[in-house]
């Protein structure tokens, strides 16, 4: 790939981004699209429709949303959207800070050093079209100029570690403050207990749990909520309530509206009244059937060895879930309860002994998916490497007959095809992660983040580097593992242009399509003009897809770090990528996506781990490059930085990681002391356990018809 291909890719992606962002700025002004572009404010009843929808200004593009996104402060995000949303934006800010400094170093120091390394070389016109003179590839073997690259590597390493420590510590402080702010949440008083053993002294699991915690935690234990196998009720609710009851409700509403208009013929009115009575009776029977199934005496036969246990104080809950409750650690297993809206109720019924099987199955499924995905990646690299493609497929030479077509085919097309294929990866991975049996959706999303990240590192990064001679490279790496840095360095040096186009396509095109919400626009148009005409009143509200955003941005940062010293020309494109991603997701967090759970910043340890891997790969690559350039002293001098990064990561695991996934006794006692002065604290503690009632046991209600059957249904028979 040459400079013309890079320019062709840049031109196409910039043009597409401008067109798509212009369309977004126009569509956002139209009232008919408010359910898409203002889904969150509408769901919170915090949006007023514009009175004017046909003025000429509504058809003119405007980019005022960008300054608006930049004016949103971190405190505003934290207060209204939570710490998880802020962590996502901090990832973009971290990348912008790091790569702005590296871009300055690259353009002021590295690019002049690279370009002037061979001043006596008479470059031909063909050679001038390639970007190699701007990279480390232009440095002669054994040149002392490589020490300049070594110094820039030192700067990138220390600056990256400094930013990582600063961010980790800052987000930890934010987490402690945020936990203090939301100290009345029920999950701070509640733990999840699994593998409850059967007892000969007690008939039910509920009585067994109550006796065990009353005996061993007499001063802090409050109550428990046993879980039931509510599959029968759930099936009834999902299939009957969602279909039969809703259709019955609509028929009753139609009857009422028909009677309200008045009828000229008495027999028609009488017939409407009879139909309404039939439908109401049908709805009553459905409610009574669900009520019967929800009676405690019926449910006792379907108890599960799982319970939510509530405590009077946060200190009591913290001590209970961090302690081993029994000599046998496989029974009375405790962990901090997720917040009620984060609970994955279906997975709570999965026996604990099956988790290992689920984990193995998910690992095998993800591995097979990764291996099969190597086929499109290899095909994409075949297109990008046009000289090799001509040897494998001679008809491809026809592309050269059309001026400029080769630049488009080798510059834009490979990255566009690759991004199209990997678009489905996050959805496949999150589906597999949730099959593993996590008790909360947030843990499933975090698992999916790691699965997607490693998938992208393996397929997009390593496989794109090694494709073309994949089997030979893998064989050499296995036979001579010590030569891996050398093989990696050679591949990295040759693929800089491809990753420039990848960053351009992933950033400009995909971020633009993300904010446009093209899929929802098409779906809303089809629905409004076909089966859903006149019924589209609910906003298109979805959860913020952390599992899709974090891995892709982290892999782009990894690519940037690896090329920060090798090919600094990539860095300005990455800064634009991160800046556009930041303003896009500020807009999406403010107006489009909803906060369906809050982990109080638990995503950051994963992000820290991904960026640490990026720094390590950057150092390994430079060790190999210094070796290729016959500068062993520089390679040996880089080894201490590699060791330092690994030690830094281990220190952060000891210093910060435990506080993100465990509540300290100190903070628990501090918040308990604050409750002594708070009048509403007692009510919050008493209502903590009621927040963990299973969905299938909660009251049901229909908007058109309220009956006594909609009262709390868990009663004694």
pLDDT category at 557 given cuts 50, 70, 90 is very high
> What was the pLDDT predicted at 575?
93
pLDDT-wise least confident of 292-301, 373-382, 421-430: 292-301
Q: What is the pLDDT of residues 697-714, one digit of tens each?
A: 776 554 443 333 333 334
Instruction: Please give the Cα distance from 249 to 261 (Å, whole number).
Output: 19
Position with higher pLDDT, 535 vs 439: 439
Structure tokens at 379: 């095909």
> What was the pLDDT predicted at 676?
81
- The SS3 of residue 371 is helix
Which has the closest alpha carbon to 491: 511, 470, 509?
Answer: 470
Q: What is the pLDDT of residues 218-277, one digit of tens each?
A: 999 999 988 888 666 666 555 555 555 455 555 555 555 555 544 444 444 455 555 656
How far is residue 650 CA from its own chain's centroid?
25
What is the reported pTM? 0.85
> What was the pLDDT predicted at 716?
35
Instruction: Please give the Cα distance from 483 to 474 (Å, whole number).
Output: 11
pLDDT category at 123 given cuts 50, 70, 90 is very low
> What was the pLDDT predicted at 134?
80
Share of the chain above pLDDT 70, in %: 74
> What was the pLDDT predicted at 708?
36
How far is residue 708 CA from its own chain's centroid?
42
Instruction: Please give the Cα distance from 568 to 553 (Å, whole number).
Output: 19
Residue 33 clears pLDDT 90, i.e. is over it: no
CB 710 within 8 A of CB 700: yes
Share of the chain above pLDDT 90, in %: 34
Q: What is the pLDDT of residues 583-636, one digit of tens each?
A: 999 999 999 999 889 999 999 999 999 999 999 999 998 998 888 888 889 999
CB 370 within 8 A of CB 459: yes
Structure tokens at 67: 């300054």
pLDDT category at 87 given cuts 50, 70, 90 is very high
Q: What is the pLDDT of residues 392-401, one digit of tens each?
A: 555 555 555 5
Residues in the chain: 717
Per-residue 3-state assignment (H helix, E strand, C coil) for 171-232: HHHHHHHHHHHCCCCHHHCEEEEECCCCCCCCCCHHHHHHHHHHHHCCCCEEEEEEEECCHH
CB 12 within 8 A of CB 408: yes
* Boundaries of every domain in the chain: 3-183+355-655, 187-338+676-717
Instruction: Please give the Cα distance from 114 to 137 (Å, whole number).
Output: 8
Beta strands 190-194 and 333-336, pairing class? antiparallel
Listing from the earlier edge strand, what are the strands of the sheet with 303-311?
Answer: 221-228, 303-311, 190-194, 333-336
φ, ψ of residue 279 in degrees (nearest 5): -65, -40
Beta carbons within 10 angstroms of residue 657's beta carbon = 16
Residue 115 clears pLDDT 80, i.e. is over it: yes
Report DSSP state, residue 308: E
How far is residue 287 CA from its own chain's centroid?
38
Instruction: Please give the Cα distance from 519 to 532 (Å, whole number).
Output: 17
Structure tokens at 699: 């009251």
pLDDT-wise least confident of 63-72, 241-250, 418-427, 531-540: 241-250
| Mean pLDDT score across all residues of the chain | 80
Which has the closest alpha carbon to 405: 420, 421, 383, 388?
Answer: 383
Structure tokens at 220: 């802090």
CB 415 within 8 A of CB 506: yes
Instruction: Please give the Cα distance from 195 to 355 (Å, whole number).
Output: 12
pLDDT category at 191 given cuts 50, 70, 90 is very high
Report DSSP state, residue 608: H
> What was the pLDDT predicted at 266?
40
Instruction: Please give the Cα distance from 123 to 116 (Å, whole number).
Output: 12
Which has the closest alpha carbon to 100: 642, 566, 492, 577?
Answer: 577
CB 195 within 8 A of CB 643: no
CB 524 within 8 A of CB 36: yes
CB 185 within 8 A of CB 339: yes
Structure tokens at 476: 């050499």
Mean pLDDT of all residues in 128-149: 78
> What was the pLDDT predicted at 2?
59
Residue 408 clears pLDDT 90, i.e. is over it: no
Instruction: Please give the Cα distance from 361 to 345 (Å, whole number).
Output: 21
Instruction: Please give the Cα distance from 178 to 82 (Å, whole number).
Output: 8
């Amino acid at each position: 790939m040459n400079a013309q291909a890079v320019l062709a890719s840049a031109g196409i992606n910039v043009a597409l981004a401008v067109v798509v962002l212009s369309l977004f700025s126009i569509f956002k002004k139209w009232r008919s699209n408010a359910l898409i572009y203002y889904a969150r404010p509408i769901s919170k009843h915090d949006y007023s429709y514009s009175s004017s929808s046909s003025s000429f200004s509504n058809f003119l593009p405007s980019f005022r949303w960008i300054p608006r996104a930049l004016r949103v402060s971190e405190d505003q995000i934290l207060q209204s959207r939570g710490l998880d949303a802020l962590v996502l934006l901090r990832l973009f800010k971290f990348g912008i800070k790091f790569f702005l400094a590296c871009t300055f170093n690259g353009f002021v120091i590295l690019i002049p050093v690279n370009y002037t390394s061979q001043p006596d070389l008479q470059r031909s016109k063909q050679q001038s079209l390639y970007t190699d003179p701007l990279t480390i590839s232009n440095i002669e073997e054994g040149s002392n100029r490589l020490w300049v690259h070594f110094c820039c590597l030192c700067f990138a390493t220390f600056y990256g570690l400094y930013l990582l420590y600063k961010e980790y510590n800052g987000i930890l402080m934010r987490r402690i403050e945020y936990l203090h702010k939301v100290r009345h949440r029920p999950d701070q008083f509640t733990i999840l207990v699994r593998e409850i053993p059967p007892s000969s002294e007690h008939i039910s699991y509920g009585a067994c749990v109550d006796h065990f915690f009353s005996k061993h935690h007499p001063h802090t234990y409050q109550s428990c909520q046993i879980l039931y196998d509510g599959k029968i009720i759930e099936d009834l609710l999902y299939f009957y309530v969602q279909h039969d009851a809703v259709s019955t409700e609509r028929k009753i509403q139609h009857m009422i509206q028909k009677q309200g208009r008045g009828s000229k013929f008495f027999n028609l009115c009488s017939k409407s009244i009879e139909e309404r009575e039939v439908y109401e009776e049908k709805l009553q029977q459905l409610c009574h059937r669900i009520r019967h199934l929800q009676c405690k005496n019926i449910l006792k036969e379907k108890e599960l060895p799982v319970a939510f246990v509530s405590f009077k104080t946060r200190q009591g809950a913290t001590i209970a879930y961090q302690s081993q409750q029994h000599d046998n650690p496989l029974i009375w297993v405790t962990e901090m309860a997720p917040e009620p809206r984060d609970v994955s109720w279906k997975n709570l019924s999965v026996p604990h002994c099956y988790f290992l099987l689920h984990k193995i199955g998910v690992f095998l499924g993800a591995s097979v998916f990764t291996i099969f995905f190597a086929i499109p990646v290899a095909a994409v690299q075949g297109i990008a490497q046009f000289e090799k493609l001509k040897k494998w497929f001679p008809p491809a030479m026809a592309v050269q007959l059309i001026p400029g077509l080769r630049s488009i085919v080798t510059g834009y097309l490979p990255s566009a095809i690759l991004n199209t294929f990997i678009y489905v990866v996050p959805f496949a991975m999150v589906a597999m992660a949730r099959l593993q049996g996590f008790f909360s959706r947030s843990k499933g999303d975090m698992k999916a983040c790691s699965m997607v990240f490693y998938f992208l590192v393996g397929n997009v990064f390593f496989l794109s580097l090694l494709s073309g001679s994949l089997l030979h490279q893998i064989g050499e790496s296995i036979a001579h593992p010590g030569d891996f840095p050398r093989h990696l360095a050679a591949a990295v040096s040759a693929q800089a242009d491809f990753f420039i186009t990848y960053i351009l396509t992933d950033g400009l095109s995909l971020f633009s399509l993300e904010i446009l919400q093209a899929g929802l626009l098409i779906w809303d148009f089809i629905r409004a003009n076909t089966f859903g005409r006149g019924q589209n009143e609910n906003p298109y509200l979805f959860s913020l897809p952390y599992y899709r955003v974090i891995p892709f941005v982290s892999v782009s940062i990894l690519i940037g770090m690896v090329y920060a010293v090798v090919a600094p020309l990539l860095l300005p494109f990455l800064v634009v990528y991160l800046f556009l991603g930041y303003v896009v997701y500020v807009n999406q967090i403010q107006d489009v996506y909803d906060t369906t759970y809050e982990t109080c910043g638990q995503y950051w340890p994963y992000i820290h781990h991904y960026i640490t891997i990026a720094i390590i790969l950057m150092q390994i690559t430079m060790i190999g490059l210094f070796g290729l350039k016959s500068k062993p002293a520089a390679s040996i001098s880089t080894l201490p930085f590699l060791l330092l990064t690994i030690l830094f990561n281990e220190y952060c695991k000891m210093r910060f990681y435990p506080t993100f996934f465990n509540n300290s006794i100190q903070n628990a006692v501090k918040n308990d002391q604050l409750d002594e002065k708070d009048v509403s604290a007692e009510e919050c503690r008493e209502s903590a356990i009621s927040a963990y009632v299973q969905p299938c046991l909660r009251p049901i209600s229909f908007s058109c018809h309220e009956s006594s059957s909609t009262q709390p249904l868990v009663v004694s028979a």
